[in-house]
Amino acid sequence: MDTKRVGVIFDSEWTRIVTSNKGKIYDDLTLVCWNELTSEVVVLGKDAKKMIDRVDKPLRVIAPLAYDSINNLEVFKAMVTAVLNKHKYELNEAELIITAPGIENENLQNIFYELLSVYTTQSITFVPKIILTAVGANTNINDEYGTIILDINYYNSTVAIIADGEVVATKQSKYGEKWLDEEIVRHLKEVHGLVPTLETIENIKWTLGTVIKSRHDLELNITGRDLITNERMKIIVTDADFKKIFITLFNTYRTLITSVLEECPIYLRTSVVKNGLKITGELAGIIGVKDFFEDFFDFPAKTAKNRGYAAADGAIKWKI
């Protein structure tokens, strides 16, 4: 019988658990409603998000991870325990693949070993998220020619060149989906006097968001609240309203990729064009992303079909 594989992804926005026999079994926001008096987790994820601005001390909603770092180690350890306890039977006799911000750090690995000592796992392996993302996006990380990975996350983004199974060069940028959301909100407030809902922001991204010239103007009816009167209002916006924002964001990625290429060994700068660029993360689905990068770099670019779930898929595919 094949050994069961369990992948656990602790990311700044999402925490996910996948298994080789059941697929996705946990998928929730990396948020905690924390009792500061008893140092206990009250609720997790989306349930914690509902409590933002609705709870008083000693309760507080905390994001223990942000910008690819651990903001609050005590809360993070408690969250890890709470999440894994929900699925403790899945961990029995399983190969456990774990990633989290700073997972290469030996001290953090020892913390995980301590937290996992109560479970009967067959093995525990720590893998950087960018490696799992590349594997999940069907990248041959052992190719000597190398591949460029652009992983667009919520708080930030990472560019890495991976060759012979190793990260040869990498850089991070503060520009992620959070920056895009904030710029959309800022534009709607300043230009239209409208305060959008989260649903409206998502509709704009996936209906009007583009980084190439559209054949036809794209329009969208949106609703929100008047910035001054707070009354409900409805307007029509077009892709032209937001084109500059999307182009600005993706230009930062273009600059980041160029910078990483300049820092990698000369032989890789020339050989990496064989495999080109792989784009992962939810924003890989924005209209025109593939063409945007291919037109500038003159080497192949591919967007991962599993986008934001590439790391989770990579945890199951990764070979120990």
pLDDT class of 41 with cuts at 50, 70, 90 = very high
Final residue before a domain boundary, out of 126, 160, 182: 126
Rounded distance between C-alpha atoms, residue 151 and residue 133, angstroms: 8
Whole-prediction pTM: 0.92
Residue 316 covered by a domain: no
Looking at this protein, which amino acid is placed at residue 275?
A: N
Query: Do 50 and 142 have their domain in common?
Result: no
pLDDT tens track for 18-31: 999 999 999 999 99
Query: Do 209 and 112 have their domain in common?
Result: no
Residue range 33-61: average pLDDT? Answer: 95
Residue 132 covered by a domain: no
Residue 226 covered by a domain: yes
Residue range 213-228: average pLDDT? Answer: 91
Looking at this protein, which amino acid is placed at residue 157?
A: S
Query: Do 170 and 247 have their domain in common?
Result: yes
Residue 319 covered by a domain: no
Q: Which domain holds residue 86?
A: 5-126
pLDDT tens track for 164-218: 999 999 999 999 999 999 999 999 999 999 999 999 999 999 999 999 987 888 9
pLDDT tens track for 258-278: 999 998 888 888 888 889 999
What's the confidence (pLDDT) of residue 158?
A: 97
Residue 262 covered by a domain: yes
Rounded distance between C-alpha atoms, residue 153 and residue 176, angstroms: 5
What's the confidence (pLDDT) of residue 214?
A: 79
Query: Do 97 and 216 have their domain in common?
Result: no
CATH number at 149 reads 3.30.420.40
For the sheet containing 40-44, what is the strand order? 40-44, 32-35, 59-62
Residue 131 covered by a domain: no
Number of domains in the chain: 2
pLDDT class of 110 with cuts at 50, 70, 90 = very high
**Among 44, 124, 121, which residue's Cα sits nearest to residue 80?**
44
Report the run of H or E that residue 204 belongs to, with start and end.
Answer: helix 198-207
What's the confidence (pLDDT) of residue 94?
A: 94
Query: Do 41 and 168 have their domain in common?
Result: no
What's the confidence (pLDDT) of residue 121?
A: 94
User: CA distances (Å), 35 to each of 10, 61, 81, 135, in order?
Assistant: 21, 9, 15, 38
Query: Do 204 and 113 have their domain in common?
Result: no
Residue 221 covered by a domain: yes
Final residue before a domain boundary, out of 72, 104, 126: 126
pLDDT tens track for 71-97: 999 999 999 999 999 999 999 999 999
What's the confidence (pLDDT) of residue 159?
A: 97
